[in-house]
Each structure stands twice: as C-alpha cells, then as structure tokens.
Amino acid sequence: HISLPSYSPDTDVKSIEKFFVHHVEYTLARYRGNINQMGAYRALAMSVRDRLIERWKDTQLYFKKNGVKRVAYLSMEYLIGRSLQNAIVNLGLEENFSAAMKNLGYVLEDLYEQEADAGLGYSGLGRLAACFMDSMATMDYPAWGYGLRYKYGMFYQKIKNGCQFEYPDYWLENGNPWEVERLDIMYPIHFYGTCKMEMVDGKPHMAWYPQQKILAVAYDTPIPGYLTYNTLNLRLWSAQPSKEFDLDQFNSGDLYSSLGDRSHAERITAVLYPNDSSFEGKELRLKQQYFMVSATVQDLLRRFRESKRQLTDFPELVCVQMNDSHPTLAAIELLRILIDVEGMSYDESYKVICKSFSFTNHVVARSNLEKWSIELMEKVLPRHMHLIYEINHHFLQQVEKKWPNDQGKLTHMSIIEESPERYVRMANLAIVICHSVNGVTEIHSEMMRTEVFPDFFKLWPERFLSITNGVTPRRWMLEANREMSDLITKWLRTPSWTLNLDLLSDLARQSDVGSLQKQWSLAKHINKERLAGYIEKTLGLKVSPESLFDVQIKRVHQYKRQLLNIIYVIHRYTTIKSMTIEERRKVTPRVVIFAGKAAANYAIAKSIIQLINNVSVVINNDKNIGDLLKVVFLPNYCVSLAEIIIPAADLSQHISTAGTEACGTSAMKFAMNGSIILGTMDGSIVELSKEIGETNVFTFGTRAYDVPSRRSAVRNGEWGVDSRFEAVLSVIERGDFGSHDFAPLLNSLRYGNDYYLLSVDFPAYVEVQDNIDAAYKIPNLWNKKSILSTAGSGKFSSDRSIKQYANQIWKIKPARRSGPI
Ligand code: 26M
C-alpha cells in the first residue's frame, strides 16, 4: 500500500486552490490580493486541516463501531515541531499542494517556514512521543495521545556574548490551525482539601472533600497516518477556572479577586517546566501531572461507558502506556474512582489498573528517579496519598513473603522513602501497579534489571521488557531529506521503504557501486550547502561545504560531554597552529557544529555553552587557520532546526559516558541520513554499531562495566592525566578563550572530580578522531560507510518499536478504515 487511492475529490490541484481562497476570504477575512506569507500559511494550513478532520472523524467512528481495544498514550510532553509539511506528505499530496500554491504565486517550502514549532517537550522523551503518534497512525493502530496544551513551550534560546538567555516561547502567537477547541469536552479536576471516614450503607467509606476545582478543556489535534485514511487524535488539556468558583466570588462582590483566581487556574497549563533529567519537586508540576491524568482517566471512563460493559472489563478494551513515571497518578486516579465513585472493592479495582497500565522508564541514574515529598502529596492529593499507602501495605506484605525478615529489601523496595525525608517513589509505584515496565534500549533495560531496580526484577522478572526506541522515517528522512529519499527510492526501485524500513538493508549490497556513491555524496553536498546558507544567514559566518561537517546537537549536559568535544577542538586548533605549511596541507578541514539548550538553572551546562561560543570566536577569526577549522554554535536548537542540520552531517557525535544515556534517539536519525557515527558504547550506539557493523562506526572510550573502577581511580588520584588534556585546560585557564570565569568548569575536571571521565576517555577520543580524518580522505571508503549507515538503520524506525509495544504489551491489532463513508 504505497499510493493513496483518490477517494476524496477535494485533493486535486483545482480544489486545493479553491479551499485556500475560501479560507483567505472567510477564515482570515482578507482579500486574495492582500495576503502576506503568514496569511497564506494560515489559509493553507486551514485547508489541510479540513481534509484531516474528515478522516479523523471517520476514523474515530470506525474504532467505536468496531469496539476495538485501544491504547491511550500518556505523556507530559509532545515535541512535535511543525505540522504542515508532515500533514501534506502523510496525505501523499505534496505534489498537488506544491502545484496549487505555485499557481497562486506562492512557494510551498516558503510557507512551511512560516509555522512556529510546537515545542511542548524538552527533548528525547517528548520527541519520542511525537514519533510514536506518527507510527501508531501510520500502522492503523487504535490509539489516542493525551497530554497538556502548554501556552508556552520549551524556552527560546538566544546567545549574547556567548551566553545563553532564555525567552518565553509563545508558540500560539499566530494562532494554531492544527487544533480544535472542544468546549463540549470538559472535566472538573479537584485539588487539596481533606478526607473523612464515613459510613455508607453500614460500611466505612473514605470521602474526599476537595478545596479547589479547575476545569480541563480538550484541544484536539489530528495526527494523520502516512498513506492511510486513518487519522488519530492527540488530546491536549488546557486549564480553565470553573464557573461555580467564579460565581461565589462574584456574589461576595469581589470581582477583581475572582479575575485573579481565573489566571491562577490557567497557570496550571501555562508553561512547560524548563528542566530536564534532573528532577525538581515543585507543587505546580505535581498539579500539572495530576491535572493531565485526571482529565484523561475521566475521558477514558466516559468512552468506556459508551460500550455498556462492566467496569471489570475495562482492561479488555483499554490499555494505558505511561511515558516515564510522570503520569503514574493516572492509575491511582482510576483506582480512586472505581472505589470511591463506582463502589467497587479494592481488590477488584486493583486488578483492573494492573491489567490496563504499563510504563516506560527513561531514567538511568537512580538519583534522577521521580519522587514527591509526602507532605506535598498529602496537601495536594490527600485521598490519593491514602491509596498509595494502601498499595504499599499490600505490596510490602508480598516482599515480606518472598524475603522474610529482610529489612533491607523492605527499605529499598518500599514505595515510600522514609529517611532522611519522606517521599513517594514514583517509579517504584509504577512498577508495582503496572503489568509491564520497559527500558528504551537493550543496554538500558539490562541496567534496569541489574542496577536500577534489581530487587523488583528478582520479584517479577516477567514484568521487565526491553523495547528499543525508534524514530519516524517520514519526518526524519522523507520530509527532511528529499534529495536522499529520492535516491533511495531510485536505487531500491520502490518507494515502500518509508513503510518498511528494513528494506534499506538492500542498499548495503550496492554500497560499492560508483554511481550510487557519486549521487549519494552529491545529495549530501546539496544538504551541506543548505546548512551553510543557514549558518551564514543566522551567524554571518561563511563555512565551506567541502569541509567535513562534524555535528553534536542535543541538550547540553555534563553526561553528554559536549565539553569533551570542545576540549578536543581546542587541542586540534593548537595542533594545527603549531604545524608547518606542508603539514597543514594534510589536515582534513572541519566545521564543528553544536546546538543545544541548557536547563535555565544548570550553571555548568551554561558555562559549557559559553566556552563553545568563546572558542568559536577565537578560531573563526584566526586568519592563520582559515577553512581548516570552524566552530559553530547554532542558537535555539529545536525540531525544525534538527531537520536542517541532520541531513547535512558527515559525522555526528554521541559521546556520553558509557552507562549514562538511556537511549539517545538522535543517533538513529543521523544514521538514517547517512551520517557516520562517532560514539561511545552507550544507549542506542551499542545497537546501531551492531546493525551498521563495528568497522563502519567509530566507537571509543571506557565501556559501561569499567566505569565504576575508573571512576574510583580518578577520585583517588590514581589515574594519570594525558598531558594534551591538561594543556588544553591550562590554555582555557590562561584566558585564551575570554575572561569569563571558567574555574568551576575546570574544577569539575580536576582534583578527582572528573565524574564523567573526560580525562580518561580523551586519549582514545583523539585517536579515533585521527582515524576519522584518515577515512574522510578516501571518498570511496567514506561514502561506503555513509551508505552502510543508512542501510543498517532499518531497525530504528518507530514503526518497529510500536509493533513491539502493540504485540508484547498492549495486545492490540491494527484497525484500518479504508476510506470515507
Ligand atoms: C520531571 C519532573 C519535573 C520536571 C521535569 C521532569 C523531567 C522532564 C523530562 C525529567 C526528565 C525529562 O526527560 C528525560 C528525557 O528526555 N529522557 C530521554 O529520553 C529519551 C527517549 O527515551 C532517551 O533517548 C534519552 O536517553 C533520555 O535522556
């Protein structure tokens, strides 16, 4: 199934023009001749949306009529990026739309650029949710996505004098044509208050008297599958004050304070917390999480009731996948409703949630596991806290039975952490109440079994699964890299690789063919020219597309070791400077490209950004170096920027300390786009190097199993530091890269503090960089590796991940609606 049957008469060029003009005149209320690029984008997006809405309504009806089992995907984040091109490509209509826009005097690609990114996520976990929605829709799975409609997404990053500044990202400024506000779908969400034991029908019954009530309003976004009529729904909740609440205030005559409460309620979905990986226990965040899951659970129950089946059958029709432990309260909320509202017994209710819920863990370091202070939880959600105690009580009895008199086991496994302060451990809670928990790569899942949750694994080995993440080849290849996609279709003699990415492996057979290699490197070159144009436009810096484009783009974090990269760049710079003219001729010219945001309160990460920028100023202005080395930091890394950078990369770096990155999904996107991988044996790189072939990727550094012993050697001053590494630290210290105070950064690498082992891995890193330079000099060899990177990346389609979730955890089947009614 590769071309879409033309069931809709509304998708030919003339109809597209007609609908576009209609929206200009009636939705925007403007004249045809008086429309700017933004207006044209909006009119176009509206006409695409109309096509999606038809399919989406039909799909929802089809699922309902057929009574199929469905999955609800719960995530606090969806890092979607732009939607216009995605929608048009998934409809299979890019040619028609391009022609229609041309007839009206517009360039389709220019209109794509008008759209603001929907950045409702920090990074990997949020982007994963977006890729999964695309795959679930494409493979016709009956699924819903649920999340929050933040008014402000991930902050906008500006760099001034090398320093990161954060600005609010008001992504809704020009409206959001992709959403439908559903004022008919609204649920009350309660907070605070007290619980009382009461007698109901002669039985004791816990009642919750909440103190605050806020409404959750649904905003629906259609998610089109690729070349299928099926269109899923992503339902994002937005907070609104409840009317009753307002009325009380009006009656007391205090109009203005009631307006104040209005904005107080809206604050719940105002901003995405600009933090990642390090957990922060803020009250507003807890309220956001509960707000999302309570609205979602109410919505699931409302729909389930339409089936007229008993609540004990809930797991036969609905399963819930939680993206990390953030939505775990969904299970507690369902338990509460079943017991307190529906009058079911605890045991029966508990069985229902256990059978329905499953959870994906994205955390590696135990210290990053989510935990909430009991004091806060008791204040905000007193009834839920009771239920958590009850769950823990039953659970600890099971532990006691399995390991009698083992206080250590009880202390480690308890859902409640007792000292030094009292916390609810959300991951423990999630493992206890779910029937399945999975890691996101093989190495990560193995660490979960042996290091993060070893006791839980001993108790319930069957609950622990491994499902390697994936990314959607539609956005990351077909849309972002047209040049290469066309080539692949030509050489595979079929376009169907976009739906069956395993077909890419056939490229391996042809990787030595001269004409393929030539066309392949030409495609790469075109993408590099486009990126060079973007760099010149944004930074005013000229870079040569003949150079090796060496890219590291991801959140800035110590464990991801951008610092190791820039230290090597400094080493490379000083080495080149000390060379004779003769020696310089042999140097491979490189453009080292960085992009990434640091959490606003993460001082060391911010000073890494500062250092990269300061180094770039010195090197890029050094006439003595010219094109041999350039350093670029592109501001405001986001999905749409990744779509420009990734197709243009010759080399991409994934160099986290082994055992610290759960997965790292960007490496998959780079490999698909023919970028060669430079990485450590961590997260996704372990599996990528197996698929692509060890000799075709460049790996280096301490292996995960050696990390603890090397760490202690470093801590005890027993590790001899490489003199080249130390030399770089001293030139930074000397002020060669600006007067900024880099002392805290340098101290994080010295005096036994080098927790992420930069100094330990540096010599191996230098060596592997030399091998890369040598390989780049032999185009046949390099192009072959590049083709093999793409050929070996078939496994990393999110279609494969989703099939595994569907078969192993959700037990759901595709339900394809073949066309309109
Ligand atoms: C939690 C509580 C309060 C505020 C924020 C958070 C929080 C939000 C996001 C914590 C962590 C968050 O994201 C973590 C994340 O993105 N993890 C990444 O997930 C990817 C997909 O599985 C993996 O590829 C990455 O290795 C992993 O770091």
Best mutation site among 277, 328, 602, 686 for ligand 1, i.e. most ligand atoms within 8 A of its Cβ? 277
The finding on whether 470 has its CB within 6 A of some atom of ligand 1 is no
Together in a domain, 748 and 681: yes
Atom of ligand 1 at shortest range from CA of 665:
24
Residue 218 scores a pLDDT above 70: yes
The finding on whether 444 has its CB within 6 A of some atom of ligand 1 is no
Centroid of ligand 1 to alpha carbon of 277 (angstroms): 5
Selected residue with higher pLDDT from 100 and 248: 100
Average pLDDT over residues 319-333: 98
The finding on whether 277 has its CB within 6 A of some atom of ligand 1 is yes
Selected residue with higher pLDDT from 249 and 99: 99
Atom of ligand 1 at shortest range from CA of 123:
16
pLDDT digits (tens, 9 = 90+) for 805-819: 999 999 999 999 988
Sign of the dihedral defined by the CA atoms of residues 509, 510, 513, 518, in that order: negative
Residue in the structure block whose two tokens are 């003595």: 624
Q: Looking at this predicted complex, what is its ipTM?
A: 0.96
Centroid of ligand 1 to alpha carbon of 362 (angstroms): 6
Average pLDDT over residues 661-670: 98
Is residue 816 within 8 Å of 230, Cβ to Cβ? yes
Together in a domain, 445 and 577: no
Token couple for 25: 């005149």
Residue 3 scores a pLDDT above 70: no
Together in a domain, 478 and 464: no
State the residue range of the domain holding 668. 474-796
What is the count of structural domains for the chain?
Answer: 3
The finding on whether 457 has its CB within 6 A of some atom of ligand 1 is no
Together in a domain, 450 and 481: no
Centroid of ligand 1 to alpha carbon of 125 (angstroms): 5
pLDDT digits (tens, 9 = 90+) for 348-386: 999 999 999 999 999 999 999 999 999 999 999 999 999
The finding on whether 682 has its CB within 6 A of some atom of ligand 1 is no
Together in a domain, 458 and 510: no
The finding on whether 132 has its CB within 6 A of some atom of ligand 1 is no
CB count within 10 Å of CB 393 equals: 10
Residue 158 bridge partners (DSSP): 165
Q: Which of 201-210, 748-757, 810-819 has the lowest mean pLDDT?
A: 201-210
Which residue has a Cα nearest atom 17 of ligand 1? 125
Q: Which of 54-58, 132-136, 260-264, 270-274 has the lowest mean pLDDT?
A: 260-264
Average pLDDT in the chain: 95
Q: What was the pLDDT predicted at 34?
A: 82
The finding on whether 273 has its CB within 6 A of some atom of ligand 1 is yes
The finding on whether 280 has its CB within 6 A of some atom of ligand 1 is yes
Token couple for 807: 């078969």
Best mutation site among 78, 362, 368, 601 for ligand 1, i.e. most ligand atoms within 8 A of its Cβ? 362
pLDDT digits (tens, 9 = 90+) for 518-541: 999 999 999 999 999 999 999 999
Together in a domain, 45 and 150: no
* Position 1 confidence tier, pLDDT thresholds 50, 70, 90: very low
Q: What CATH number did the domain enclosing 630 receive? A: 3.40.50.2000
**Phi-psi label, residue 424: left if phi above 0, alpha if psi -120 to 50, beta otherwise:** beta
Q: What was the pLDDT predicted at 278?
A: 64
Residue 259 scores a pLDDT above 80: no
Which amino acid, residue 240? Q
Together in a domain, 416 and 494: no
Centroid of ligand 1 to alpha carbon of 228 (angstroms): 31
* Position 32 confidence tier, pLDDT thresholds 50, 70, 90: confident
Atom of ligand 1 at shortest range from CA of 278:
10
Centroid of ligand 1 to alpha carbon of 276 (angstroms): 6
- Catalytic site residues? 362, 554-555, 560, 665, 669
The finding on whether 445 has its CB within 6 A of some atom of ligand 1 is no
Which residue has a Cα nearest atom 14 of ligand 1? 277
**In angstroms, rounded to a whole number, what is the distance separating the alpha carbons of residues 97 and 408?**
64
Together in a domain, 448 and 532: no
Centroid of ligand 1 to alpha carbon of 809 (angstroms): 22
Residue 690 scores a pLDDT above 90: yes
Together in a domain, 457 and 497: no
Q: Is residue 606 part of a domain?
A: yes
Together in a domain, 151 and 95: no
- Residues in CB range of 674: below 8 A, 6 or more apart: 484, 520, 524, 786, 787, 789, 790
**In angstroms, rounded to a whole number, what is the distance separating the alpha carbons of residues 136 and 300?**
18
Q: Is residue 820 part of a domain?
A: no
**In angstroms, rounded to a whole number, what is the distance separating the alpha carbons of residues 619 and 626?**
9
The finding on whether 122 has its CB within 6 A of some atom of ligand 1 is yes
Together in a domain, 128 and 237: yes
Is residue 698 within 8 Å of 652, Cβ to Cβ? no
Residue in the structure block whose two tokens are 């047209």: 482
Average pLDDT over residues 52-78: 96
Q: Is residue 786 part of a domain?
A: yes
Together in a domain, 188 and 275: yes
Question: Which H or E run contains 790?
Answer: helix 779-791
Residue 256 scores a pLDDT above 90: no
Atom of ligand 1 at shortest range from CA of 128:
21
